[in-house]
Amino acid sequence: MENTLGLEIIEVVEQAAIASARWMGKGEKNTADEVAVEAMRERMNKIYMRGRIVIGEGERDDAPMLYIGEEVGICSQPDAKNFCNPDELIEIDIAVDPCEGTNLVAYGQPGSMAVLAISQKGGLFAAPDFYMKKIAAPPAAKGKVDINKSATENLKILSECLDRGIDELVVVVMKRERHNDLIKEIRDAGARVQLISDGDVGAAISCGFAGTNIHALMGIGAAPEGVISAAAMRALGGHFQGQLIYDPAIVKTGLIGESKEANLERLQSMNINDPDKVYDAHELASGETVLFAACGITTGNLMQGVRFFQGGARTQSLVISNQSRTARFVDTIHMFDKHPKVLELH
């Protein structure tokens, strides 16, 4: 599964990032998202695979493309029999976020990316469009920090695991009212807080890499993004835990409806019988093979954003595989014209 797909999914995220980056700083987040979705889908449908979107742009009725349940890949097309032998191919599940951080793109802010995760059928938790309480930390703290512990306790554990003072730790938290107490607690404990407006996937994954100066992600973000983060962190051997948030009293914005009871019913209809369960990275991304790919739209901690030049563009992507145990940074020059001015890049 990995050999061919590993290379092709780089192009999938690259194409989405390039399309979206053309809308960087234009103040139009929906367009920045739509073009990324379209580009991702178009490239995905050229891959020799039988894929199914398990985390995508939403339910079929609201999302014309990359909706949950959509089948993608050459071998899912109606005329697939002409060039595919379905028996030869395993079915794969795909979680996508073609433009993670639409506001970041629209306002030209750092940290947006096109991102996806792939696994065997059933290998990714089909998270509902709810919120998720999350904690991410470096591999050295895996299984030691715990979402059920207080931030203060977790910072002590992190400081021991990483062999550094609490004042040398940086915790990323999304700037939201719901996090005011959390932010105060982290500061009171002596650690430093990096507030971000959006984009907690990049923040979670940054914990998996030494040298990013990010040692933890704490707080509540979206659940689908939690699964994508977990896929990367599982492959990296980092710590990730998530717990669904279904109570509108905790998160008052967008994603979840007004009624806690209705949300609980919805979870039950999805066979999520223990709504308070804490999931670790292995449960959220449980497949034997887990592949993660991201391409920077705007520059972030891990990847450069898309840089256009006359006749082409340059991108930086990251592909992580749990099977080959690699995290591969890929620097690509895309030549749109026959004679791009490649040498005038800098």
- Interaction of residue 198 with ligand VTB, rule CB under 6 A: yes
Identify which range of 51-59, 187-195, 253-261, 335-343 contacts ligand VTB by CB under 6 A. 253-261
| Whole-number Å distance between alpha carbons of 55 and 261 | 24
Helix (H, G, I), strand (E, B) or coil at 55: strand
| Whole-number Å distance between alpha carbons of 336 and 338 | 7
- Interaction of residue 175 with ligand VTB, rule CB under 6 A: no
Identify which range of 24-32, 51-59, 79-87, 220-228 contacts ligand VTB by CB under 6 A. 220-228
- What string marks each residue from 122 to 161 as x (binds ligand VTB by CB under 6 A) or -? ----------------------------------------
| Whole-number Å distance between alpha carbons of 38 and 12 | 11
Cα angle 187-239-263, degrees, rounded to a multiple of 5: 85
Name the one residue in this structure whose structure tokens are 């002596």. Answer: 190
152 half-sphere exposure, CB direction, 13 A CA radius: 5
- Interaction of residue 254 with ligand VTB, rule CB under 6 A: yes
Which residue number, 130 or 289, has a Cβ lying nearer to ligand VTB?
130
| Whole-number Å distance between alpha carbons of 102 and 126 | 22
Exactly one of 135, 201, 216, 281 binds ligand VTB (CB under 6 A); that residue is 201
| Whole-number Å distance between alpha carbons of 238 and 322 | 12
- What string marks each residue from 66 to 95 as x (binds ligand VTB by CB under 6 A) or -? ------------------------------
Which residue number, 6 or 131, has a Cβ lying nearer to ligand VTB?
131
Exactly one of 138, 199, 242, 296 binds ligand VTB (CB under 6 A); that residue is 199
Q: Report residue 321 as tokens.
A: 């595989």
- Interaction of residue 33 with ligand VTB, rule CB under 6 A: no
Closest to 266 measured CA to CA, from 133, 132, 127, 64: 127
Which residue number, 228 or 291, has a Cβ lying nearer to ligand VTB?
228
Q: Report how many residues bind ligand VTB under the rule CB under 6 A.
A: 13
DSSP 258: S
Element (H, E) at 231: helix 223-236
Exactly one of 11, 34, 93, 225 binds ligand VTB (CB under 6 A); that residue is 225
- Interaction of residue 221 with ligand VTB, rule CB under 6 A: yes
Helix (H, G, I), strand (E, B) or coil at 32: helix
Rounded to a whole number of angstroms, the minimum distance from the CB of residue 79 to ligand VTB is 35
Q: In the sheet where 170-174 sits, what is the strand order?
A: 192-196, 170-174, 216-222, 131-137, 239-245, 278-280
Which residue number, 6 or 242, has a Cβ lying nearer to ligand VTB?
242
Identify which range of 26-34, 45-53, 199-207, 209-217 contacts ligand VTB by CB under 6 A. 199-207
Identify which range of 48-56, 88-96, 194-202, 307-315 contacts ligand VTB by CB under 6 A. 194-202
Which residue number, 102 or 286, has a Cβ lying nearer to ligand VTB?
102
DSSP secondary structure of 86-146: GGGS-EEEEEEEEEE-HHHHHTT-S--EEEEEEEETT-B----SSEEEEEEE-GGGTTTS-
Residues 6+ apart with CB under 8 A from 8: 47
- Interaction of residue 213 with ligand VTB, rule CB under 6 A: no
Which residue number, 198 or 280, has a Cβ lying nearer to ligand VTB?
198
- Interaction of residue 200 with ligand VTB, rule CB under 6 A: yes
Residues 6+ apart with CB under 8 A from 150: 185
The site for ligand VTB (CB under 6 A) is made up of: 100-101, 176, 198-201, 221-222, 225, 253-255
